[in-house]
Structures are given as C-alpha cells and as structure tokens.
Structure 1
Amino acid sequence: MAGVRAVRASSAGDASRRLYDRIGAFLFDQRLEPDPTNFAFAYHLLENPEGPLARAVAALTDGGVRLTRRDIESLGCEATPGQSEATDGKKAEGLVAQTQMQVEGFEDIMHAMRAETEGFGRDLAASAAAINQSRAEVGNDGVMLDEVARITAAMLTRVRTAESRLESATREASDLRKKLEEARDNARRDPLTELPNRRALEEAFTAQSAAGERLCLAVCDVDHFKSVNDRFGHAVGDRVLKAIAEALSQACSGHLVARYGGEEFAVLFAGIALEPARATLDTARATVAAKRYRLRESDAPLGEITFSAGLAAGARDDSFQSLFQRADRLLYTAKNNGRNCVRTG
C-alpha cells in the first residue's frame, strides 16, 4: 500500500510539475510578467484547455497576436486584491440598497404613526376641553369629572411627548436615507476627478444597450503619464488627471465621461454615429494638447500633456467587454502610431 501511495504521489507531483512548466512557458511566450494575476489567468486557461476561457483566448490570439494585461482583465480572470475589492464592493452596495429600503420603510411608518398620533392628540384635547366645560357647569359636584380630567390631561401630555419623539425619529430617518443615497452615488464616482467610475460606466452601457441606443465607446490614455509622476510627483500627476477629466467632460458634454482607472478614461457616446463621436473626441484631444501646463508652486513649464484614444462603434450583439476590447486595441494602435491621436474602427 505504501508503494501504491508513493506512485500516486509521484504521478500527482509530475502532473503538477507539467502544469507549472506549461504556465511558465505560456507566460514567456506571451511576454507576460509572472505576477499573481497573470499566473492565475494561465492556470485557469491551461487547467481547462477546452473551456470557454481557452476558446476566447484562441480567438484573441489567432494569427499570432499576443495577449495584453487589459485582455486578461477583460476576460474576467483577475485573481488579485482588486477582484476581492470589486466583489466586496458589490456586496456592500447590495447591503446599502437593502438598508436604504428598510430606512425608507421605517420613514413611511414614522409618517403614518405621526399622523395617527396627531389625530389622537386632537381628539384627546377636544375631549379634555369638553370635560373642563362640564366641570364648570356642574360646579363642586363633579368629583368624578375631576378624576377623568386629571387622567385625560396626563394622557395628553404623554401623547405630546410621543409626537415630539416621533418627529425627531422621522427627521433622523430622512437624514439617514439621504446619507445612504449619497453613499450609493459615491460608490459609482471616482473621488479624484469626481467623474463616474468603471462600475457606473458598465451600468450605463448595459441600460442604454438594452434600450436600443446607438453606442460608441472611446478608451483614452494619458501619454507618458509615468514620466509626469516620476519627474514631478503624484500630486502634480493628480492635477493633470483632473485637468484632462475637465477637458473631456466639457468637450463631450451630453455623453458619459468616466475615469476607468489609473490614467485611463472612457467616453460612452450615445445616439450618435462614429464620425461625429470621433470629431467630438478629437476636439477634446486638441484642447488638451494645446494647453501649456505649469507647476502651481513655481510656474515652471510642465511640458506638453497629450492623450491617445481608441474609438469603436458598438454592434447590436456587443457586450461591454467586447466593445471595450475593440476600443482598447485601437488605443494601442494610436500609441504605436506616435500617440496624441484618435484611432477609430
């Protein structure tokens, strides 16, 4: 038995070693860094060579095209802290939505209770006034009425106290509801640029695609942004990102401009064809390129800041991932053709 176990252990070890070697060869062939995301992607791909992921990779790499990091992210096999953060974000968003519904229900109950309490208080006050009138009419013979009047007055005091507490609770429920609405909005907004974020972009695409809108998607990337951070620091880099966000928002007014992540922005054009979308995006590109940026602290020139973009027209059966992937490939074409330009397809 010990010998059988040893053979099995050896076979399992050999299989693991072969898979490990295949993963290394795949990463080397695709010129991908051996980081956790790429390693996990290769593992899922090679563990099931006939699965849907393998078929998608075969379609992407047909003709010798190498995978990019964005291809891996778009195929949904990211196994980094970012993935768990996205999952946790969705769970948190669901919890916020559920809590908001409960708060709204509580607020409705508070309003109903206030209305009923106020009505009861008015009736009780009218009864107290009637009793006092009766006491005045019967004089000193109204001993029983005195006791009823005392009880009624005590009840009225308690009702007034309850009304005050209910009013305070209603205000608190209303404030909490507003804060929850703000929290849900913040979950879809980039804190630096205050633009919608990746989640908001994907949700907007899903909604507008389902409504049958004509869509175009642009993916924009700041040229040589790493050098800006390296030379001037991240604070200056952040200001550059905010300036580009503002230029895109102004030029593409009426369309959804989002910060996709890092130095990448995306624009979802709805209701217009590819050419007018390209002209609009090129106006934003020219505006950014023409501006002469300076350091706020010393007024020294920052140098030319530009961005490149890929713009793709959506098809009826496009998913967000497929449309984004086409736009991203066009972005790479723009980068490889000198940058500071828009490529369409």
Structure 2
Amino acid sequence: MYLERFGSGAPTGNGLVRAIIAFLEDQRLEPTPVNYTFAYRVMSDPAGELAREVARRTDGGFRLSGSEVEELGNAIEAAARGRIGPAPAAEASAAPHEPDPRTVETQRLVAGFESAVTAMHDETRNFGRDLAASADALDAVPCIDVAAAITDLARITATMRARVEIAEARLAQAKREASELREELAAAHEDARRDPLTELPNRRAFEAALADARGDLRHVALCDVDHFKSINDRYGHPVGDRVLKAIAATLTRECDGHLVARYGGEEFAVLLSGIDTASAGALLERARRAVGARRYRLRETDTVIDGITLSAGLVTLRSGETVTQGVARADRLLYAAKRGGRNQMIGETH
C-alpha cells in the first residue's frame, strides 16, 4: 500500500509529516514517540526493507499490531547496529541537495529521543552492574577494617548517586523531546486537516468526520460556486480567494451547529446531523440563498461584485452506506443542478 502510494521517492518536509500522520491513522496506532519513530522510518524510505515488510503484512487491509511494530522496530535496530563500513557507492555518489527544514527538525527530534532512551538504558544497566559490584566489595572487606569499608562504601555510593543524576537528566531530556514530538505531531495533524485559505476543515477532515458520525439523521451536501473561473479571470486570484473566504464565513454562520468544510477548489461540503430531511433541505437552501444575496466590494477600485451563486446537491445517508457512496450521490445531484441551470439545490426524491 505504501510502496504504491509513494513509489521509490520519499516524501519530504510537510509531505513527510502528513505521510507519517496518515500511516498512524491508517494503522490505528497511537501517536506515541515509539510509533512516530517507526512511522518515520517507514515513510522516509518507502522503498526500503522496513516499508516493504510493512506493505507485505498490511496487504489486503490488515493493520499492524503493537507487537509487530515492536518486533519490526527491534529488527531494524539490530540491523543498523550491525552495519559497518562505508556507505554504498550509489549513496556516496548521490547529488547533494538542500534538506527541507521541516525534515531536518523531524529527524532531529526523533534522533534526540532515541539517543536519550538509549542513554537511559545504558545508565540503568551500569547502575545494576555497580550495585552488584558494591555488594561484592562490601562482602570482601574484613570486618575489622571498618574505616576501609566506610571509605569504599562512600566511594561506591557517590558513583551510584552520580549515575542516578545522569539517568534523571537523561529522563528529563527524553520527556522534553517526547513533548516536542507530541506538539509537532499535533500541529502537523491540525495543518493536515485544515484548509489554510478559509480555515475550514478540509476534505480529509470532512470525510473522517462523516465516517465517525453516528445516527440515522445524517445529510451530506456538496456546494459549488457557479462560474467561479470567470471571477478569477476577470478580477484575479487574490479576489477569488477573498470571495471563497466570504462564502466560507456565510456557510459557517448559516449552518451553525453543523460541519462545513472546503472540499476542494471552489467546492464546499456540509454535514448536517440530528435534523430530518426536510429541515436539512430548508437549512441548506437558506444558506445557499444567503451566499447569493451577498455583495462583494473591491477595496482597490470600489467595484461591486454581485450575482455570485451556489449550486448544491443534498442526500440523506442510507444505513450501511460508505462515505464514498454518500458523497458520490451528492456529487451527482450537484452536477444535475449545474446542468439544470445552476443557482439551485437539488435533493433526493423519495
């Protein structure tokens, strides 16, 4: 699945972060540092050995278990520790390129966390070793040599205390790195689900919300701005962007309590829940008319733009219907509205 999605090229920057998030969501894995690190290794090298093994195990829609993530991660760690010698010639001769700052930061956070955890393991192992050594040393001291025993005990205790302090410092650093990873993941997750222009949820967020919605009263509407290309051609894309932001604000206001998303380009999607079909149709028609009633005045020239309208298709989701099926039905009605003259909503006939 992942080899097909990315081929031999690895995503970078924001694309890499989005790919990591998609992997975690697809596999239903919690965004823990361990799982994030595993996902990073898969997605940063989609043609590598680990990605191929993941693709093999998930073929057919299967998901990785937590134990499989641990197993595969440990195997990669062992393989990495066993690599000795110079890099392969193909890697050595690769053309240099400027790394993406987001990729570098992600790599730094992952590497920092791994380093801290490894150091903690080492210090814990050393602590146990020295604890055993101290017990042996005390047993070996003659009972009559109390001063020597006290001196040796003080030395060993001081050493152990230093190791504890080192371990505590490493733990604090690991916690900071984990916190940074969580914040980075949360920010990227939000970015990946929000349209930067309108600040509405995007298509991916809408489809996820639709898949998670419960209950029988769920209605999906797709709305498209009529003749939007002519707005861009006549007034320019910056004006077109402002129009889209204004439409987004109008739909959000008129559909308060329901989910409005930018589905792509000049297309918006609305998820109406908890109301019957007739109420959903009335609400959407009111919102559509509110968009058509707006007037847009250009700051630069004081020109008034009016007559911007929406066409829409509205369906009520059926029991057992998938997200794709429901959206496809709404899309067919939307295009029926377009073919029928635009500036109208078409709902289902029962």
Residues 105 and 246 of structure 1: CA distance in aligned 2, closer, same or farther (over 3 Å): closer
Distance 2:328 2:178 in 1: 44
Correspondent of 1:316 among 315, 319, 343: 319
Correspondent of 1:168 among 173, 177, 181: 173
Residue 31 of structure 2 is aligned to residue 100 of structure 1 = yes
Distance 2:328 2:36 in 1: 43
Q: Which residue of 2 aligns with 1:328?
A: 331
Deviation of 1:250 (Å): 1.9
Give the 3-state SS of the residue equivalent to 1:100 in structure 2.
Answer: coil
Deviation of 1:219 (Å): 0.9
The amino acid across from 1:315 in the alignment is: R
Distance 1:198 1:183 in 2: 16
Contact (CA 8 Å) 1:258, 1:266: kept in 2 or not? yes
Distance 2:244 2:34 in 1: 37
Contact (CA 8 Å) 1:294, 1:301: kept in 2 or not? yes
Give the 3-state SS of the residue equivalent to 2:31 in structure 1.
Answer: helix
Correspondent of 1:266 among 261, 269, 274: 269
Residues 168 and 261 of structure 1: CA distance in aligned 2, closer, same or farther (over 3 Å): same
Residues 250 and 103 of structure 1: CA distance in aligned 2, closer, same or farther (over 3 Å): farther
Residue 174 of structure 2 is aligned to residue 201 of structure 1 = no
1:206-221 to 2 correspondence within 5 Å? 206-208=211-213, 211-221=214-224
Distance 1:180 1:298 in 2: 43
Residue 192 of structure 2 is aligned to residue 187 of structure 1 = yes
Contact (CA 8 Å) 1:103, 1:173: kept in 2 or not? no
The amino acid across from 2:183 in the alignment is: K
Deviation of 1:228 (Å): 0.8
Q: Which residue of 2 aligns with 1:227?
A: 230
Residues 306 and 177 of structure 1: CA distance in aligned 2, closer, same or farther (over 3 Å): same
Q: Which residue of 1 aligns with 2:239?
A: 236
Distance 1:105 1:188 in 2: 18
Greater shift in the superposed pair: 307-316 or 227-236: 307-316
**1:272-317, Cα deviation, whole Å (9 max, x unpaired):** 1121112221222222222211223333223332212111222224
Contact (CA 8 Å) 1:293, 1:304: kept in 2 or not? no
Give the 3-state SS of the residue equivalent to 1:213 in structure 2.
Answer: coil
Q: CA RMSD in A?
A: 3.6
Distance 1:324 1:317 in 2: 14
Q: Which residue of 2 aligns with 1:155?
A: 160
The amino acid across from 2:23 in the alignment is: L
The amino acid across from 2:294 in the alignment is: K
Deviation of 1:160 (Å): 1.5
Distance 2:303 2:227 in 1: 19
Contact (CA 8 Å) 1:103, 1:177: kept in 2 or not? no
Residue 242 of structure 2 is aligned to residue 245 of structure 1 = no
1:53-68 to 2 correspondence within 5 Å? none
**1:164-204, Cα deviation, whole Å (9 max, x unpaired):** 22102111112202321332333332232222222222222
Unaligned runs of 5+ in 1: 1-84, 125-140
The amino acid across from 2:306 in the alignment is: G
**1:71-127, Cα deviation, whole Å (9 max, x unpaired):** xxxxxxxxxxxxxx9xx99964443555834437999x97xx79x98xx9xxx9xxx
Q: Which residue of 2 aligns with 1:290?
A: 293
Distance 1:269 1:147 in 2: 75
The amino acid across from 1:259 in the alignment is: R
Residues 144 and 315 of structure 1: CA distance in aligned 2, closer, same or farther (over 3 Å): closer
The amino acid across from 1:216 in the alignment is: H
Unaligned runs of 5+ in 2: 1-10, 38-112, 132-145
Contact (CA 8 Å) 2:288, 2:309: kept in 1 or not? yes
**1:122-156, Cα deviation, whole Å (9 max, x unpaired):** xx9xxxxxxxxxxxxxxxx8344234223322331
Distance 1:94 1:334 in 2: 34
Across the two proteins, how many residue pairs are aligned to each other?
A: 235
Per the normalisation by structure 2, the TM-score is 0.57
Higher-helix-fraction structure: 1
Larger Rg: 1
Greater shift in the superposed pair: 94-103 or 156-165: 94-103
Distance 2:170 2:18 in 1: 36
Give the 3-state SS of the residue equivalent to 2:315 in structure 1.
Answer: strand
Deviation of 1:245 (Å): 1.4
Distance 1:105 1:338 in 2: 50
Distance 1:289 1:341 in 2: 10
Give the 3-state SS of the residue equivalent to 2:232 in structure 1.
Answer: helix
Distance 1:258 1:245 in 2: 8
Q: Which residue of 2 aligns with 1:344?
A: 347
Distance 2:172 2:18 in 1: 34
Correspondent of 2:305 among 302, 307, 310: 302
